[in-house]
Amino acid sequence: MHLVVFDIDGTLTDTCQVDHGCYWSAIRDVFTIAADQPDWSTFRHVTDSGIACELCERYLGRSANEREIDAVRQRLVTLLESALVVKNPVDYQIPGAFGVLSLLRETADVATALATGGFRASAELKLRRAGLLDPSLPFASSDDALSREQIMRIAADRAAKKYMVEFSGFTFIGDGVWDVRAARNLGWTFIGIGAGENAERLRRAGADTIIPDYKPIARFLSILRRSRERAP
């Protein structure tokens, strides 16, 4: 059985822009930082917990404590609840995401899991607003670890326990240059989701398989099949 692990923001949910803005507002509110939003790709760990910890070191010269991280988490959820106001879930979906998740759930030799650099509470909120939340899927987030690689490993471990199998290979599907790096570091194959400049960033980071979305589903399944064939 092959494991397909999906990122969430920009990969399943079309929520990157609103999430980045709300996250930076939450950081500024909790740590009282007066600065412009930085380039996330410059951080050691591009995860909600990892960025918060490094920002505290950069601007305040000390380590963040758990109370502060929890405050960022709660503030982010509050801001997202107000920002994600569109009623139609399809407006928050990457085209074809619902169909792909539904189809893979019925595919005998493929298992699915989620691994996000976001906090679990905010990730579940975005999935819920997009009509994509499936509590049965193995799930790991930055509540579990600072690094994206470790989050992905935890998702894979939880999937192995749920499905009671040893996976023959792994494919990660993501939209960030940090996703490309994490997949490469773990030896997983990678499928990038992106168009325009974002697709170019993924390509420069080393991604060789990039699609704008999951439509048509037949195209995605063909790409996934080739990805499985390349898996170590």
Residues 167, 45: Cα–Cα separation, whole Å: 26
Examine the pLDDT at 177 and tell me if it is beyond 80: yes
- pTM of the model as a whole: 0.95
pLDDT at 86: 81
CA dihedral 60, 66, 67, 69 (to 10 degrees): 70
pLDDT at 12: 98
Examine the pLDDT at 34 and tell me if it is beyond 90: no
User: What percent of the chain is predicted at pLDDT more than 70?
Assistant: 100
In this structure, of 35-39, 74-78, 124-128, 169-173, the range with the lowest mean pLDDT score is: 35-39
In angstroms, the Cα distances linking 96 to 37, 113, 174, 195, 213 are: 31, 17, 15, 15, 7
Residues 122, 175: Cα–Cα separation, whole Å: 18
Average of per-residue pLDDT across 190-212 = 97
189: Cα separation from own chain's centroid: 16
Determine the CATH number of domain 16-83.
1.10.150
- Condensed to tens digits (0 to 9), the pLDDT of residues 38-93 reads 998 899 999 999 999 999 999 999 999 999 999 999 999 999 999 998 889 999 99
Closest to 212 measured CA to CA, from 96, 123, 133:
96
Residue 122 has which token pair? Answer: 């905010």
Domain ranges of the chain: 2-15+89-230, 16-83
pLDDT bin (cut points 50, 70, 90) of residue 228 is confident
Q: How many helices (H) and strands (E) does the chain have?
A: 9, 6
Residues 21, 23: Cα–Cα separation, whole Å: 5
Q: Which amino acid appears at position 230 of this protein? A: R
Q: Are 201 and 177 in contact (CB under 8 A)?
A: yes
Mean pLDDT of the chain: 95
Examine the pLDDT at 231 and tell me if it is beyond 80: no
Phi, psi (degrees; rounded to nearest 5) at 69: -60, -40
Phi, psi (degrees; rounded to nearest 5) at 92: -105, 10
Examine the pLDDT at 232 and tell me if it is beyond 90: no
Cβ neighbours for 137, distance < 8 A, ≥ 6 positions apart: 112, 113, 114
pLDDT at 186: 97
Which one is the CATH code of 2-15+89-230: 3.20.20.30, 3.30.230.10, 2.60.120.1310, 3.40.50.1000?
A: 3.40.50.1000
